[in-house]
Amino acid sequence: MLPGAIVFADVTRSVRAEGAEDCPDEARMAALVSQELDGADTAGRSVSILFERDRDDFMAIVATKGRTRRLRSLDCDELAASAALVAAIALTSEAPAAESAPRLDERDAADHERDAPSAPAPQVTTTERRDDARRDAPARRALPPMHPLDESERDFRLALAFGGHVSAGLTPQVGGGPSLGVELRGLFWSAGAEARYTTRPEEEVELGEHTYALETHVFTGGVVPCLRLPIASGWSLDACGVLHAGAIFARVRDLDHETPGALPVVDLGGRARIEALIAGPVGVRANIEGLGHATPARFVVVDHGQTLGAWTSPEGAVVGTVEIVIVAP
């Protein structure tokens, strides 16, 4: 049986390893298995269930006499239901050990032959008893897919993230917009690519004797390598580098004319992130990052031969993001 899993005859025992404390306890698992058994005879049989945590997944190892099955899921409640079903099927399929027949000496054998009926009663073999038990057992739904754990199991997953951000320093005043990213992640690392659109609603700026309307849009994409630190079941703290490149578009206009312009953008910085998986593969995360502008932007207006500064970007920017995360199974 499993190391650390205590098993008694006719009793279902469940053990939760470190990281799987949120999985159902022993009493709950015994109730789930009993519900699946639906009164079936399991005399002389036992089962043990061990819950473990492996990266973003929960693992259940279901062991009966001579057989072990492994299951995995992102949600421990779903995993517990599958493990209970597997345990119940194993218990109803497994025959108890056959008792050895008593040894007869010659005198006992003679008495036995004298007292034996002329037509011996038909004997039911262990195989026939097992077939009868399977035939009489209540019908059960199909088993969920099994995912054995072995050395060939991949050590990374694909994740999709989308959300919105608020920034100071990417555009005049405070801007914001949507973001979208995809990443490969392991237990202690991730490597992602993302795109971000930042805009600032049109605002009035006074330049010289005139009032102008300034509108800005920033389109960037980049790479985000991270180190991940799991801190609890489904929770992690990440430290990331950020490299973004793209363009900033601005339009300055007054009643008489309009001046569009575009400049390249290259930003480099760091990001701190916290993430929590709250519903199986779906989670939420919050980011805060600081960026330095490798290519500061400066937009000017030339009005009647006079050059007027419309906006010059600061040396850096601060961006806060909230995203929904979906991790592929």
Which has more pLDDT, 39 or 177?
A: 177
Cα–Cα distance, 276 to 274 (Å, whole number): 7
Cα–Cα distance, 11 to 4 (Å, whole number): 15
- Give 258's pLDDT tier (boundaries 50, 70, 90): low
Strand order in the sheet with 57-64: 12-16, 47-54, 57-64, 67-73
Task: Please state the pTM of the whole predicted model.
Answer: 0.54
- Give 251's pLDDT tier (boundaries 50, 70, 90): confident
For 85-142, how does the pLDDT look when each residue is reduced to its tens digit (9 = 90+)? 888 888 887 655 443 333 434 444 444 445 545 544 444 444 444 455 445 444 444 4
Average pLDDT over residues 47-58: 78
Which has more pLDDT, 193 or 173?
A: 193
Closest to 171 (Cα-Cα) out of 202, 212, 217, 206: 217
pLDDT above 80 (res 177): yes
> How many percent of the chain have pLDDT more than 90?
29
What pLDDT is recorded for position 140? Answer: 45
Are 63 and 1 in contact by the 8 Å Cβ rule? The answer is yes
What dihedral angle (degrees, nearest 10) is formed by the CA atoms of 257, 263, 268, 271? 40
From 7-21, 146-160, 205-219, the region with the lowest mean pLDDT: 7-21
Average pLDDT over residues 283-302: 87
With respect to CATH, is domain 157-327 assigned 3.90.550.10? no
Which has more pLDDT, 137 or 222?
A: 222
Average pLDDT, the chain: 75
Q: Tell me phi and psi for residue 247, to 5 degrees.
A: -150, 150
Domain ranges for the chain, please list them: 12-136, 157-327
What pLDDT is recorded for position 301? Answer: 65
Average pLDDT over residues 269-290: 94
Element (H, E) at 249: strand 235-253
pLDDT above 60 (res 10): no
What pLDDT is recorded for position 322? Answer: 97
* Cα separation of the two ends of the chain: 29
Which has more pLDDT, 309 or 211?
A: 211
Which has more pLDDT, 281 or 208?
A: 281
